[in-house]
A and B are shown apart, each in its own frame.
Chain A
Amino acid sequence: EDQVTQSPEALRLQEGESSSLNCSYTVSGLRGLFWYRQDPGKGPEFLFTLYSAGEEKEKERLKATLTKKESFLHITAPKPEDSATYLCAVQPPSNTGKLIFGQGTTLQVKP
């Protein structure tokens, strides 16, 4: 069964304290792995798409990497405004574009 697991469920960091969020998946023939940011009460905001193992993408303090079994979202020197829930999703091989989501990691960055 296709599955996505994110860890940790919650993460508290001090401002400037770098860390990584993990997303492991069991999907055959991955079409794409997506990272979203979700602020409380709002819809998920697209961050990155990764398509193949070894691929990396960066945006400001965020860097996403992909292996054959997992993805990491590295946060370098986070700021309080990076506090949010980060969602990982995978797209299995089909033409429907459906996504399978993980439960998310809630990040809190304290000043």
Chain B
Amino acid sequence: DVKVTQSSRYLVKRTGEKVFLECVQDMDHENMFWYRQDPGLGLRLIYFSYDVKMKEKGDIPEGYSVSREKKERFSLILESASTNQTSMYLCASSEPGGFSGNTIYFGEGSWLTVV
């Protein structure tokens, strides 16, 4: 089975703190993604990475950065957490997109509350 593991399920951080969300996948997937999910807004892509040290901005990258130093690990960084970043964060991974679509597998999610 594909396994995408997010290290923290629940976090409470203070405004202005630097926050690290870690994600590891065990399927040797090339692509990794960070989404956030909010009621009424659905899943929105923050950043994705298609190779080690490679990254591209998604739809809502402001206030976030990412790091991919190893193929299996993709980190999301909130440089200075703000209350509007309170959300559920989902990490995902997939094989590279070929002629046909490739399935994206998700982790269990990290609930972040910024107070």
The interface residues of chain A lying within 8 Å CB-to-CB of B90 are: 43-44
CB distance from B21 to the nearest CB of A (A): 13
Q: A residues engaging B (CB < 8 A)?
A: 30-34, 36, 41-46, 49, 51, 87, 89, 91, 94-99, 101-104
Q: Which residues of A contact B101 (CB under 8 A)?
A: 30-34, 49, 51, 91, 97
B43 touches A87 (CB 8 A): yes
B43–A91 contact, CB under 8 A?
no
Known contacts A31-B101, A51-B101; decide if A97 and B94 are in contact (CB<8 Å): yes
Q: A41-B109, A43-B107 are in contact. Are A97 and B102 (CB under 8 A)?
A: yes
> A46 touching B105 by the CB < 8 A rule?
yes
Across the interface, do B95 and A42 meet the contact criterion of CB distance under 8 Å? no
**Closest chain A CB from B35 CB (angstroms):** 8
A-B contact count (CB 8 A): 76
Additional A-B contacts beyond A34-B103, A43-B107 (16; CB < 8 A): A31-B99, A31-B100, A32-B100, A41-B109, A43-B106, A43-B109, A44-B43, A44-B90, A46-B103, A89-B104, A95-B96, A96-B56, A98-B45, A99-B43, A101-B42, A103-B42
Residues of chain B within 8 A of A102, CB atoms compared: 42
| CB-based contact B109/A42 at 8 Å | yes
The closest CB in chain A to the CB of B98 belongs to A95
Write the nearest CB–CB distance from B93 to chain A, whole angstroms. Answer: 9
